[in-house]
Structure 1
Amino acid sequence: LERSLEENKIEDNAVHSELDSVEEKIVPEETFEKKKEYSQQVIELNEKENLYSKLKERFEIEQQEKQKRQKLLRTTFILLTLVGIGLTAF
Structure 2
Amino acid sequence: MNDQTSQPPYVYDGLDPVPEPKSTIAEVSDAVKGAAHRVSDAIESGRKPGMPLSIIANIAREAPLGSLLVAFLLGVAVARRR
Q: Point out the structure with max Rg over C-alpha.
A: 1
Question: TM (normalized to structure 2)?
Answer: 0.31
More helix by share: 1
Question: TM (normalized to structure 1)?
Answer: 0.29
Q: Which structure is higher in RCO with an 8 Å CA cutoff and minimum separation 6? A: 2
